Amino acid sequence: MDAELFPRTRTEVAPGAVHFPDWLDAPAQRELLAACREWARPPAGLRTVRTPGGGTMTARQVCLGWHWYPYAYARTVVDGDGAPVKPFPVWLDELGRRAVGAALGADAVTGTPYDIALINFYDADARMGMHRDGDERSDAPVVSLSLGDTCVFRFGNTETRTKPYTDVELRSGDLFVFGGASRSAYHGVPRVHPATAPPGLGLTGRLNITLRVSGF
């Protein structure tokens, strides 16, 4: 990463919401990217998500463990090819728990395993509107890992999609965890900065991997 005048450091953006820059080193990013490429293959691969109002999400998505569709979970891709969702690997649960420990401390690590991954792929024009992650029964912290292009991640409040919010720059390798009082906060991605991925990674665009505990 380029030398910077102000080093990027772990920051608590809101109570229970922590940005941990450069949490994944370059080899770990490459490994996670290789896994995402496998997960994106059909069946139950990367798809365009259609919303009930007839729109489409600009970020394309693939799920592990439980398939998310607006606004519920299923074991098969009910809004796509109908295939069983790919399994959620044990190593991804371990990564999720380590992430929570690093960001929020050992006390915040849940006893229940992480069992949902939503992997979002953003090209230069993709974005994600302000929303809450509210279709899970568990209130375990949400873990978010970023690969590739830098984005603006907007982290808001639990009441409205509007201000107050904080804009955080998420770069390749960054970790963001939100739990506790911030578990139900609105958040979104208003902008991706094209061609900002680390040159050695070999990714055009941005991937975000969010890990959740279903409680199902």
Ligand X SMILES: O=C(O)CCC(=O)C(=O)O
Question: Interface with ligand X by CB under 6 A: which residues?
Answer: 118, 120, 128, 133, 144, 153, 187, 189, 208, 210
> What's the min distance (Å) between Cβ of 189 and ligand X?
5
Q: What is the spatial distance between Cα 157 and Cα 159, in angstroms, rounded to a whole number?
A: 6
> What's the min distance (Å) between Cβ of 59 and ligand X?
7
**Residue closer to ligand X, measured from CB, 120 or 172:** 120
**Residue closer to ligand X, measured from CB, 120 or 150:** 120
Are 26 and 198 contacting, i.e. CB atoms less than 8 angstroms apart? yes
> What's the min distance (Å) between Cβ of 151 and ligand X?
6
**Residue closer to ligand X, measured from CB, 44 or 128:** 128
**Residue closer to ligand X, measured from CB, 97 or 206:** 206
User: What residues pair up with 189 in beta bridges, in sequence order?
Assistant: 128
**Smallest Cα–Cα separation from 173: which of 7, 30, 47?**
30
Q: Give the nearest residue (CB) to ligand X.
A: 208
> What's the min distance (Å) between Cβ of 82 and ligand X?
22
Residues in the chain: 216
Please report, to the nearest 10 degrees, the dihedral formed by the alpha carbons of residues 210, 64, 66, 98 taken in order. -50
Stated as kind and residue range, the H or E segment containing 151 is strand 150-155
**Residue closer to ligand X, measured from CB, 36 or 189:** 189
> What's the min distance (Å) between Cβ of 87 and ligand X?
19
Q: What is the spatial distance between Cα 150 and Cα 117, in angstroms, rounded to a whole number?
A: 20
Are 162 and 143 contacting, i.e. CB atoms less than 8 angstroms apart? no
Q: Which two tokens stand for residue 196?
A: 């900002």
